[in-house]
Chains A and B, each alone.
Chain A
């Protein structure tokens, strides 16, 4: 059976096609201002990649912040459910999932079958999500990949309160003026977001193994900082930004 999952995120839309419990295609596009069109386009790209035709897809499930806005979907499921299902497929030993997206972060506790036991979420606040990293990279005048790279070379701590992305931007600018190394500022930024996400995740029981998913999981500096703050190893699946879409596709086949 062929099914598709579409994750309609705040920043990007992801589509995954699953055939007989195997991933056959993945596609991603910036959400932009027309999420329905973008979802359509992203799914079409995945269909092409899979070498199938649209009518071969038996069911389409959506997830993500805009999951209810897609008219051609058969059903929609919450991000938390999709995250647990997708992670369980990729990393079956994981019991605690941290998902950091562009505008939201979640901590999820799941059982051996990928069923959600408990979860916690951040309030709508950029300081605990991917949007924070992007704001800070603009303030540092570095691309995000470069900011991650130099962050690993940091040798000193830099003081950033960073409870608010808007204020942190001013803090970063004044740190640059006082001649603090950009590497140390970048490191402090990653540490700040990790610390904030971890205090949110601690509201649920943290059981091993722990996985980090969502687009921010590609940021190795944050993964490192999360390890430090949680005091456990952190697994990152391959292509972590597609986990929710994968979960939706798997649930559509169930």
Chain B
């Protein structure tokens, strides 16, 4: 087996919310030593929780929360415990393979420790609002002075320059800005009914940021030079709707949302199935597939009607067509529809809720979920690697770190601090574990 690709690459990271943590997760999966610099005094929003110690009524057992749906604000077994920041599910989703140390970088003594860490690192990664690093006086110009070969990536919502650079927004607003929201709605309803709880932009800009770091690492390997990467989350997700942009720039056309329909495929949509909230999606892209669909449904007489005879006719008469198809799907379980239609070569699949995707045969057969034991959360199966490599054994090597779990490693082994020095800084609460957050929070 080959070594992990990024073995020996050290990344100091201040990632918040979703996009940055996701980017650094991908780099950690590839073997980079990602050290989260956290604080026992400052709590970044929606990273290890919405607040350090949520009152129990905000640790819901149902889906209802102020932040959106249940999955966003869940604590392990709905119990925040003594260390809620170690039990926040969102952190667990993105924390694997990373290390955590606590340094208060708002104080000069903490800044010194932080700079020592930057000096022995390859990459500094942050996903805060554009003014955060300026306020801390830890901009690229400053850290370049500490380590001239450092790769420094900032990924604020709207980039590091321009009149709106200080705009601090989350995924929901970002996708509104990026016109992803514009393209996603039921055609018969207006945007006020669009629940913006699915944030494609976070995952998109996160993966793009990981790619950016890999590009810069290669550049440095060849030239010895570090650099600054200015990643505007908005700009990184616009290419994902490139065809809508091109339609406007080529034809002056503003694309409108199609719901579950498609510009040229028909039938194309979601159909009700047996069971509670059971749905299947079907898309037919060719005459051959249409014939397959007719066969699968037992060649009912409506299949032969003139209004469904060509792909153009089917597209024009989709409402009627969909009713006929749904009459059939309603009598079947959604997996059953998938197997029947796939046998005829048609793209079809169940709309999987979280329970069913966890139990899905394909993911199980590929060993997608990996067992992880965590000090505060217990043992669970976690979603695993996003791709498989033939000769490199990527996996969840380490559970998501507890706050400050790797202080000893970072301060002693990486920075070579003496016990006295550590004790002094701990006493002044410049560095340390999470124990005084527990004391000082109320």
- Whether both chains belong to one complex is answered with no
Interface residues of B (CB under 8 A from A): none
